[in-house]
Amino acid sequence: MRNFKLFCLSAILLLGVTGSAFATPSTQIWIPSTDIQKFGTFHLGIDNYTTMFRETTEEDGGYDFATDFGVTAGALPFEKLNLELGVDLIEPSDDPLYVNGKLGIPEAALFSYSPAVAVGGYFFGTETDEEQGPTDYNIVYGLAAKTIPVVGRLSAGYYVGNDDVLVDFEGKEDNEGILLSWDRTISEISDKLWVAVDYQGGDNIFGALGSGAAWSFSDNVSVILGYVFFNDNDWGKDTVTVQTDINF
């Protein structure tokens, strides 16, 4: 059984607004998205997670996760093939460094009405010693997404991670699952308002349902307010998340 420290180091999968990131790859709320940073742009994300209105008791206490400070950059100068690379520092932590990357094509890049497609990896940590609390989750995934008028964008995919680290709360291997999401800009109210719901399968520390809304204060600054419901609450209580996303 993994201890609670291991959860805090990893469950901080950051929630970004569409086209931004928890500095792990560009995300929806909880899962990666097919969005990729444009060439020459840098994204700074600062993400926090905390329980709300819980007393700090040992049984059912409140807590917060480590803060994720991340930078993601666009790395290819092509219109129909994009690449982003990123680094996260999750602090406080004995081993705070994680890296990620994503390669993909946008919608309609192959032919009219073709979906966006992306493949990538994230939460590649630097600690492999199980006694020290390993951080090499090494999650790889594939995603496809299509925007439907009025409905919004629908995404679906699958992920696989390190089966030595991604386990359920009883310590049994649980290192893969589905990725699903819906997101939409609520232009009927404002082009600055974006909402999403997404889901990552599995009873490991990454399995969760996320929901939230983002507001763009300018072309390059957004803030998201969201909520994360874990598939297995033995890993952690449901949390509120607030992230600040800045593009340069």
- Residue 146 Cα to chain centre, angstroms: 19
- pLDDT of 16 strictly over 60: no
- Residue 27 Cα to chain centre, angstroms: 5
Quote the domain boundaries for residue 50. 4-247
| pLDDT value for 84 | 97
pLDDT in tens, 110-156: 999 999 999 999 999 999 988 778 999 999 999 999 999 999 999 99
- pLDDT of 10 strictly over 50: no
23, 140, 197 from 100: Cα distances, Å: 8, 10, 23
Identify the DSSP state of 205. T
Q: How confident is the model at residue 246 (pLDDT cuts 50, 70, 90)?
A: very high
- pLDDT of 63 strictly over 50: yes
Q: How confident is the model at residue 230 (pLDDT cuts 50, 70, 90)?
A: very high
By mean pLDDT, which of 16-25, 157-166, 229-238 is the weakest? 16-25
Share of the chain above pLDDT 90, in %: 73
Interatomic CA distance for residues 30 and 118, integer angstroms: 16
Residues paired with 29 in a beta bridge: none
How would you classify the pairing of strands 97-105 and 152-160?
Answer: unpaired
Q: One-letter amino acid identity for 98?
A: Y
- pLDDT of 59 strictly over 70: no
- Residue that wins the pLDDT comparison between 170 and 7: 170
Mean pLDDT, the chain, rounded, equals: 87
| pLDDT value for 12 | 34
| pLDDT value for 60 | 66
Average of pLDDT values for 169-188?
96
Indicate which CATH number applies to the domain containing 211. Answer: 2.40.160.40
Nearest to 106 by CA among 139, 136, 138, 84: 84
Three-state SS at 6: helix
Within 13 Å and on the Cβ side, how many CA atoms surround 19? 20
The domain total for the chain is 1
